[in-house]
Structure 1
Amino acid sequence: MDHVSLNQIIQVIQGAPVLSDLIAAEIEGISIDSRTTVPGDLFFAIQGKRLDGHQFVTEALRRGAQACVVKRGSEAGRLSQRFVTVDDVNKAFHQYACWYRNQQPATMIGVTGSVGKTTTRNMIHTALSPYLKGVQSPENYNNEFGVPLSIAQIEAVHEFAVLELAASGPGEIRDLAQILQPEIGVITGIGPSHLEHFGTLTQTADAKAELFEQLSAQGLAVVNGDDRFAESLVSKTSARTLKVGLGEQNDLQAMSIRQTPDGILFQFEGTRYFIPAQGKHFVYAALFAIAVGKEFGLSNQKLVESLAQFVTVSGRCHIDQIGSWTIIDDSYNASPVSMGAACQVLKDWSGPGKRILVMGDMLELGAESNRYHQEVGELIAASGIDLLFVCGKQAGAVIQGAVSANLSQDRIVQATDVEELQGDVVSCLEPGDVVLVKGSRGMRMERLVSYLNQQVSQQMALGDKNISCV
């Protein structure tokens, strides 16, 4: 973040300093979490659904915050503190973010969609960063608080910023896009995610299209042209549009896709690209990155070189070698679309050992949840896996679908929670096996990955470097 005088921020958020000497302070960063506050920060006492930031202003000041933005009236009894008072802290936080964004010359890129947002955001950053100065959303900073924090990390020297926008209901993407004011918008695709909030797929598409609606006529809208909502999405914008995908109807088309043990190969405009990742769904993220890269004037050769350096994000189809096993950690989240992609990864896997899927529930699917889990069970059976471990309230529906598609019951293990599966998974593992772990965020499937790491560490400490089937 560029240094900003607190006096200027006070004017932007229409605040009032409790101490007159505050107006001379320099702000070096923005914080809404006292645990991560560092000297020079301005702490906003955000009022969230679970916590009220006013409870943590003392800790923020102890950690070196220059001042705290608090609700007018909450400073009673603490008039010697370094407070700036406002009528509404959350509103002030957004006012600051909008103002700060308008000071930045960087080209703003917004990414949303039902699946693949983080991977696409990371892929775009990977494509651009060797040649241009820029930043991306840290971790999953993609909501009403994360987007302003992401904007706050942009500096005048940056040429681009690629930010992820997420929503659990209509109107939220619009609000975030109004803060970001993107010049480039990317919608990765539409699928059954958060349906209990959106209602239908059409309503989901309308909500994601709010990003495109905020683009100016000089902007660029990039969409998955293979998605059945592609035409509907591009109809919502006055910006230039680009469709990317595998079909001939796309403006940017990937061809000759081939999965290898080291990664994915594909052809684009006569140039061979390589992405060091497992899963053909990464091709779409690469095409989005290529589309954005070309908007910045980057050649195919430069994009080939940068995308070859791509590293998967933890929890998003990230491959790790744990002892003699290959673990595909896709535990961050799950939806019917991303589960289908995970099944394809295992189907294409060419390793020597067993192919094992450990799956938790896909949450927030509303009234159709049972049907979607049954359909995923059918996909799992069709992927040709050797073992299925499934947990959660919808485990029965997954099993029903898998068995109906001829996956033998004796190759399935069921439990209510992933911790109940841990011992069974380890007992069946042999050197060379691959394990893909996936489930919605609320299922906390990453616990299995941690458990496997612990098991290997314990065995290594005992001098056994090859954990086999018990």
Structure 2
Amino acid sequence: MSISLKKIVAVLNAKWLGLKAENEIENISIDSRSLQNSPSTLFFAIVGVNNDAHNYIEDLMSIGVQNFVVQYVPAGLEDKANFLVVDNSIKALQDFAVFYRNKFQFPVIGLTGSNGKTIVKEWLNFLLSPDFNVIRSPKSYNSQVGVPLSIVAINEKHNLGIFEAGISTVSEMQNLEKVIQPIIGVLTNIGSSHDEGFENIEYKIKEKLLLFNHAEVLIYQKDAAVDRFINPRNKTFSWSFNDETATVLVFKKEIVNQHTVIHYTHDGKVARFEIPFLDKASIENAISCLMVLLYLNYESAVIQARMLLLFPVEMRLKVKNGINNCTLVDDSYSSDFQSLKIALDFLESQKQFQSKTVILSDIFQSGLVNEELYDRVAKLIISNNINRVIGIGDTISAFKEKFNNCITYNNTAEFIADFEHIDFSNETILVKGARSFQFEEIVALLEEKTHETVLEINLNAISYNLNFFKSKLKPEVKIMVMVKAFGYGNGGLEIANLLEHHNVDYLGVAFADEGISLKNGGIKTPIMVLNPENTSFGAIIQHQLEPEIYCLKGLHAFLKIAKQKKLQAFPIHIKIDTGMHRLGFEANTLAELISTLKDNDTVKVKSILSHLATSDDPLQRDFTLKQINLFEELSSKIIRELGINPIRHILNTSGISNFPDSQYNMVRLGIGLYGVSNDLKEQKYLETVGTLKSVISQVRVIDAGESVGYGRKFVAKRITKVATIPIGYADGISRGLGNGVGYINIKDQKAKILGNVCMDMIMVDVTDIECTEGESVIVFGEKPSVSSIAKKLNTIPYEILTSISQRVKRVFYR
């Protein structure tokens, strides 16, 4: 891409307020945090519900960015950069993408649906890339901004596009249709995802079909509910398991050696293909790919050969604990230029270590000649401050001199043979390679060895939940996020890094050691310690943490140390007890509190807070309002008599939702960030953050009358198939879930826990479930949810989450 600003002004119909209209634009950005921003970047300042990118323009200017698409010019920045002023920056981004898309005339495949879009896209890329130079959406870039960003990655060497479009409500798809302009349309499975954004399933289908308004053909599974809304101008190419009017009839599926063989008829001919999957979703996704190949007139033999090589799609970047105190970012299944840019931005958000290494394979399907491609890759590496590059592949080895501190190997086997001679320690390592290089073997070498039970943390879900609660706040209200108790069991430092990336105002921990750990991990966001012990005050001051002060004894102890250290205006937070009766100053102690603080310049009251006891209980609404009124009275008295202007905050997660008129200057988000709400209506809008997974260690069959586990608490009444799972009460699984109270999820079926929960194992009933040793199981996640488990145990979700042992490995992914 090389387009003059002058041309872009005309395309966007923007108001020009700038210095150099001749500037050439080489890349587009919407992320102010990306280290890839440069003088040739055109930055679109997106205004969202929870964030306004205009606030970061001055910072971007300081690193050399000169060109901005804005809805307004921030005060004081006039005449200091090039500004293209538009009514709506997201629409402007889409308009630019339409302009850019129109520069290319090759065929484009557009995909939408509720499920399967990304998998079908990746499989089509694999199936078609031997014959085309494919450009595709990186990862799941299918949103109102993701689609335009995908389109602007096209270059002159591409001759086929595959782009996915995702929507969450009405009036969105028409924008994406103009950007993608698909020739071949593929509708994947229509499910329940994002149902809340549509009046009913019919509205959802109608909206999704708008993507294909001008398509040459629509490929879909024949369905009466869909047929009603298909544009009569659309040519259809349909498939079905049972409707003989479909273009392709899949009439038989059989399992052979853990593969599925699919038999179908097309144009009066019978054919078959085989895929290495058994599940329903993979079968449907593979048939969608088959339909595209048939439409493009691929021979049956080619289809058979390529379908057999389909692979599980890893759609997420994973963060894992590595050897020798390293952090490992696993993106070991793809290597293209666009996804490299995304992975490097993600790497920058993981700031545990200063030192960063990238292990990178040859890059495919860039559409660029190798000289230009590796020039660009080298610039990316440099802009992201990568300390070391390990290149694997003949091509990247040939361009080794373009990288600083680079060692190369011709193949993965050579690297593995030399592994013991390479030092990996105290650094963050990005592993990024094309599938053919089998970088999963490298990940296995670098990953810290633990047992097979893992708690997977979805960082996208945390971001989504954060933005959901932010959307409930007035624009000026700050947000503190609680990361105490190891991030409610999910992992403290990694989540704190993500929250810092989202510019939250405060982090909250319970004890000083939690805050010190975060500070030592490089966290710069202010951290409040809510339950500081007097003996920790010295460490709190040393590490620049901010203590909550909740009693006179604690206040005097802190002031004594502050005076000894000759502090000036050190931030403290005053806790008021308004009815929780746990911690805090009561009304009768306020006079002494005020007299002690008056004219004391060693500390500064940064905030005044209290805690609600029943904000989640509608029946206790009057009590909560009484707490809020008392907080208003007592905090106002402190403010008035001390002549200060502190932050005030009383709302917790449920308070944010139930008492919006009491947001004051800040709120404290806790369990809601992790996808749990006490309100069933609100719960459906939150995304599951943590999924606790394990594997089947062994499967055995016992006869009627035989028992399972300690104490023989389960005795079989019939021939029973029993699976043993390597997770127990030492990992945080309550013994109360034993003896049929709880279950785990195996292949979306309930497997009841048999007998007592052991320290390191549970046994479950899989009599009616087809499963084998080594298969994955879900202990909690979407099903069963932590809320449903808590209900069975007559406790709260907090206890379920925070009980998960530290010996359970946490895997973070996007």
- TM-score, normalised to structure 2, is 0.41
Q: CA deviation at 1:303?
A: 3.1
2: CA distance, partners of 1:330 / 1:229? 36
Q: CA deviation at 1:12?
A: 0.5
Corresponding residue for 2:22? 24
Q: Are 2:221 and 1:238 aligned?
A: no
Contact 1:325 1:434 in 2 (8 A): no
Query: Per-residue displacement from partner, 1:32-88 (whole Å, max 9, x unpaired)?
Result: 112234333211011112211112223444555452212233364342224333343
| 296-305 or 104-113, which deviates more | 296-305
Q: Are 2:43 and 1:33 aligned?
A: no
Determine which structure has more spread, i.e. the larger CA radius of gyration.
Answer: 2
Among the aligned pairs, what percent are the same residue? 24
**Which ranges of structure 2 fall in alignment gaps of 5 or more residues?**
319-332, 334-439, 462-674, 685-720, 728-732, 765-771, 787-800
Contact 1:147 1:163 in 2 (8 A): yes
1: CA distance, partners of 2:288 / 2:203? 23
Which amino acid in the other structure matches residue 35 of structure 1?
R
Q: Are 2:216 and 1:222 aligned?
A: no
Which amino acid in the other structure matches residue 176 of structure 2?
L
Change (3 A) 1:179 1:75: farther
Change (3 A) 1:247 1:47: same
Which amino acid in the other structure matches residue 4 of structure 1?
I
Contact 1:275 1:308 in 2 (8 A): yes
Q: Are 2:42 and 1:42 aligned?
A: yes
Q: Are 2:300 and 1:300 aligned?
A: yes
Change (3 A) 1:328 1:410: closer
Q: CA deviation at 1:94?
A: 1.7
Q: CA deviation at 1:386?
A: 5.3
Which amino acid in the other structure matches residue 173 of structure 2?
I
Which amino acid in the other structure matches residue 152 of structure 2?
A
Which amino acid in the other structure matches residue 250 of structure 2?
A
Which amino acid in the other structure matches residue 302 of structure 1?
V
**Which ranges of structure 1 fall in alignment gaps of 5 or more residues?**
335-359, 370-383, 414-422, 459-470
Corresponding residue for 1:252? 248
SS at match of 1:210: helix
Q: How many residues align?
A: 387
Q: CA deviation at 1:180?
A: 1.9
SS at match of 2:125: helix
Corresponding residue for 2:506? none
SS at match of 2:132: coil
After superposition, the CA RMSD in angstroms is 4.7
1: CA distance, partners of 2:759 / 2:152? 44
Q: CA deviation at 1:456?
A: 6.9
Q: CA deviation at 1:96?
A: 0.7
Matches within 5 A, 1:388-399: none
Which amino acid in the other structure matches residue 223 of structure 1?
Y
Query: Per-residue displacement from partner, 1:325-346 (whole Å, max 9, x unpaired)?
Result: 5999998999xxxxxxxxxxxx
Matches within 5 A, 1:25-424: 25-36=23-34, 37-39=36-38, 40-62=40-62, 64-65=64-65, 67-74=67-74, 76-212=76-212, 214-216=213-215, 219-225=216-222, 227-233=223-229, 235-249=230-244, 250-259=246-255, 263-268=259-264, 270-314=270-314, 410-411=753-754
1: CA distance, partners of 2:806 / 2:110? 36
Query: Per-residue displacement from partner, 1:152-181 (whole Å, max 9, x unpaired)?
Result: 112232222111111122222222213322
| 201-210 or 93-102, which deviates more | 201-210
Change (3 A) 1:237 1:284: farther
Q: CA deviation at 1:452?
A: 11
SS at match of 1:206: helix
Contact 2:219 2:288 in 1 (8 A): yes
Q: Which has the higher contact order (CA 8 A, sep 6+)?
A: 1
Change (3 A) 1:148 1:457: closer
Corresponding residue for 1:11? 10
Contact 1:113 1:188 in 2 (8 A): yes
Contact 2:112 2:165 in 1 (8 A): yes
2: CA distance, partners of 1:366 / 1:230? 29
Q: CA deviation at 1:97?
A: 1.3
Which amino acid in the other structure matches residue 44 of structure 1?
F
Contact 2:455 2:810 in 1 (8 A): no
Contact 2:456 2:810 in 1 (8 A): no
2: CA distance, partners of 1:324 / 1:255? 43
Contact 1:169 1:197 in 2 (8 A): yes
Contact 2:147 2:163 in 1 (8 A): yes
Q: CA deviation at 1:25?
A: 2.1
Query: Per-residue displacement from partner, 1:182-211 (whole Å, max 9, x unpaired)?
Result: 212111132333222213222222222222
2: CA distance, partners of 1:169 / 1:162? 23
1: CA distance, partners of 2:63 / 2:293? 40
Corresponding residue for 1:342? none
SS at match of 2:33: helix
